[in-house]
Structure 1
Amino acid sequence: MPLLQYGRTTIEWRFQPDATLKRHYVTVERGQAVLLRGPLVNEIEQEALVRQRARWIREKLSQVNQPQAVEPIVTGSRLRYCGRSYFTEVRHAPNLATPQLRFTASRFIVENPTGLSIEPDILAPLLDGFYRERAHEKLLTRVRHWERQTGMQTHGTRIRHFQSRWASCNSQNVLEFDPRVMELPASVQDYVIVHELCHTVEKSHTKAFWALVAKHMPGWQRQHALLDIAKQAPLDI
């Protein structure tokens, strides 16, 4: 899906042609790309329409993506990493100034100065930092592996947050991955990498693009299906 950078906000949108409409409408929903509907226009015209409404879109995104009320994290809660749900232990650590998160071979351990439970919004940046660290350690190494396997080359890789997708290949063939890719099973991470590498050759989801994906990853449909299941996140590619 195309992207528009508006200040510090990255707006992703998808276009739905609708010949019954006389003008264009924008819909903003939680965890989804912005929906632009109306008479058929090309991508340059779509971007202009989104840019005209960018301030309003930014305000609506801020509203609809407010954190939803969820239960505190306690010992016995589960956190996801590489396709598995791991037991989480929350320890009271009054000597610490701020909470800390670490991962052993079998569990997450949260050390919390305020007690035996921690709110998800406080834990979120710690988990994000963990995913980022592991992405730099493991994911970028897999990108190098798949470059060698496929012969397709990037012009760099980055870890960054997306509004509603797992990864992207920009016009300069730089691959960008959301840290939460590290929640996915390793085989699905590989599919995301191959998918984006194929975009260095074919920018759109054409028949040629999917043929290229199948050439380098036969049976990719299974991993794509698993990715659809993981849209509980919700993110997309």
Structure 2
Amino acid sequence: MNFAPNFNFEVKRSTRRKTLCLQIRDGHVQVMVPVRTPERQITALVDKHSDWIEKKLAEQAARPKAPPRYYEAGEIYRYLGQELELEIVDGAPWPAEIVGRGLVVTIPKRLHGAARQAKVKQRLHELYRQAALAEFQARTESCCGRLGVAASAVKVKAYKRRWGSCSSSGELSYNWRLVIAPAAVVDYVVAHEVAHLLEHNHSPDFWRIVKGLMPNYRVQQAWLNKNGGTLAI
């Protein structure tokens, strides 16, 4: 069989896996298989689904991406979907802050070039993580109140491939980058994770709870699926 796909793929073998699985994330194709799977079976799987893989790769390539960042004054960042203009002030080290429609970062005047950019980036990350925690705590508390439940803790994390999670102990964790998205999208993810306090699955009952909290959740879900790659600082 002539097998020459128009894309690269990575094979990941595992002693724990029982079945073959295709996964496409961030333009990268992974084939996850049991450890003893023969190569011919892997190539047959990829060949069989090559049209589908190419379609998904094209869809992912067409999704909006985050703009390049140079961490210079005048750049536009978003917080809860609102545009904020970056202002850099020379002075003694001070936490970044949101002032009106601006992001104000104060850094030592002696810093230049890459060191200056790195410090601005650090200050922005610190600000967004702190602001994200406050937002998620408040929105989670409000959402929990509607269902008569309580989270054991609310945290923010730097997830690479998820926006939130709910542990078996009721701890809710959110990706801090989510706070860049519109407020309605944030509320959708909060509703999603809070619903897991009652249904730790994605059953029809779970989605009924989500819909009860946010009737138009599919709109926000679609926005996140399409624009999640733009949520970066």
Q: Same fold (TM over 0.5)?
A: yes
The TM-score, its normalising length taken from structure 2, stands at 0.65
Q: Which of 181, 184, 188 is residue 187 of structure 1 equivalent to?
A: 184
Letter in 1 for 2:194: L
The TM-score, its normalising length taken from structure 1, stands at 0.64
User: Rg: which structure is higher?
Assistant: 2
Aligned to 1:102: 97
Letter in 1 for 2:79: Y
Q: How far 1:224 sits from its partner (Å)?
A: 0.9
Q: 1:223 aligned to 2:220?
A: yes
Q: How far 1:188 sits from its partner (Å)?
A: 1.3
C-alpha deviations, 1:110-162, integer Å up to 9, x for none?
Answer: 23322599765433321221122212333201111111112233222112221
Gap change, CA 1:214 and 1:100, over 3 Å in 2: closer
Letter in 2 for 1:84: Q
The size of the alignment, in residue pairs, is 183
Q: 1:75, 1:88 within 8 Å by CA — same for their partners in 2?
A: yes
SS of 1:157's equivalent in the other structure is strand
Q: How far 1:108 sits from its partner (Å)?
A: 1.0
Q: 2:136, 2:154 within 8 Å by CA — same for their partners in 1?
A: no
Q: Which of 197, 200, 205 is residue 200 of structure 1 equivalent to?
A: 197
**Paired residues for 1:12-91 under 5 Å:** 17-18=19-20, 37-38=32-33, 70-91=68-89
Q: Which of 120, 145, 149 is residue 148 of structure 1 equivalent to?
A: 145
Distance 1:201 1:31 in 2: 34
Distance 1:78 1:234 in 2: 13
Distance 2:27 2:123 in 1: 21
Q: Which of 207, 232, 236 is residue 229 of structure 2 equivalent to?
A: 232
Q: What are structure 1's unaligned runs of at least 5 residues? A: 1-14, 20-24, 40-69
Q: 1:168, 1:175 within 8 Å by CA — same for their partners in 2?
A: yes
Moved over 3 A (4+): 27-32, 115-122
SS of 1:190's equivalent in the other structure is helix
Q: What are structure 2's unaligned runs of at least 5 residues? A: 1-16, 35-67
Identical aligned residues as a percent: 23
Gap change, CA 1:71 and 1:131, over 3 Å in 2: closer
Q: 1:133 aligned to 2:135?
A: no
**Paired residues for 1:162-173 under 5 Å:** 162-173=159-170
Gap change, CA 1:119 and 1:209, over 3 Å in 2: farther
Q: Which of 209, 213, 217 is residue 212 of structure 1 equivalent to?
A: 209
User: RMSD in angstroms over aligned alpha carbons?
Assistant: 3.5
